[in-house]
Amino acid sequence: MRTERDRAAHEGGPGGGPVRRPEAGDDDRTPAPLPFTVDPTIPEHGVTHPVADLSATTLTPWQAGVGVVAPYDFALDRELWRWTPDDVSLLITRLPYVRIPVTVDQAAALSRGKRVTKAVRALTAPEPLAVGYACASGSFVHGAHGERELRTTMLAAGAPAAVTTSGALINALRALETDRIAVVTPYVDSVTDRLLDYLAEHDVGVTSSVGLGLLSHIWRVTYAEVARAVHEVDRPDAQAVFISCTNVLTYDIIAPLERELGKPVIAANQVTMWDLLRAAGHQPVAHGQRLVDATAPSAV
């Protein structure tokens, strides 16, 4: 015959309630099994630590890599990551520091062959699938010929595939079948003029342009300032608007601006990551951005 104690143990506890958890001094009770195994070989100060069992069939996900060569003052690493899919790692290095404001001289210094070669070689050890030069002014400052030389330098330094921001811009415009744009830059006029000359070499017409005239700390430009400049520069005959400089934040405002203007809005970081990831056989991650959506495999 069951005792009251036996019935409580069988039915849960006195009155059918839950069984009381073992407490210190309950030597006559058997502790409940732990939800994990304990590895006694990992002591720390005399205390053992639980080690979760991993399934023998768990597979390590493949992780590809793409390299990015950025200017010394680049401050938007996180923005580049937002276009990057989960199975790709960004391998970022910076060009040597030069004490020059954001002028034509700075752009020329950032594109010097020896500096670019050294940066690309620093990225080759983890075997990236492609390498991108993430600087708009540094890749357009010497025109179309200078951009081609920059890619040749990167390939000679060991990049399996080479992309530049300004080269990616032209590829993006072609993908969107666009050859007449409005341009927003953070630069002084002398740098903006180099961009307009570069676009003209590729038969891209510019309906209008706005430069913010900044010589430093471009990464501090706000979304509101960029949006105002985009609305100011847009014209009915502009097929798209381009926001230059990889140090300008744009990820969150591209899609809203496109909805407001009814046309593509493309940006330096966007085209760089779009072209770089495509060169590596991957698709960028974005939310309602026309360039990414129009060139997705399903769209094509």
Question: pLDDT tens digits, residue range 88-123?
Answer: 999 999 999 998 999 999 999 999 999 999 999 999
Q: How far is CA 116 from the centre of its chain?
A: 20
Q: Which residues of 83-93 are buried (b: 16+ CB within 10 A; e: fewer)?
A: bbeeebebbbe
**Are residues 251 and 113 in contact, defined by beta-carbon separation less than 8 angstroms?**
no
Closest residue by Cα to residue 269 from 233, 239, 293, 243: 243
Beta 37-44 vs 47-51: how paired, if at all? antiparallel
pLDDT band at 49 (very low <50, low <70, confident <90, very high): low
Reported pTM: 0.81
pLDDT of residue 46: 52
Instruction: Indicate the helix (H) or strand (E) that contains 51.
Output: strand 47-51
pLDDT, tens digit (0-9, with 9 covering 90-100), for 205-232: 999 999 999 999 999 999 999 999 999 9
Residue with tokens 């530049």: 164
Query: In the chain, which ranges are continuous DSSP H helix?
Result: 4-11, 77-82, 104-110, 113-123, 136-140, 143-156, 165-175, 189-201, 223-233, 251-261, 268-279, 290-294
CA atoms within 13 A on the CB side of 198: 27
Residue 42 neighbours by CB under 8 Å, 6+ apart: 48, 49, 51
What is the SS3 assignment for 205? strand
Contact (CB, 8 A) for 79 and 92: no
Q: For all residues of the chain together, what is the average pLDDT? A: 87
Contact between 154 and 131 (Cβ < 8 Å): yes
Banded pLDDT at 298 (limits 50, 70, 90):
confident
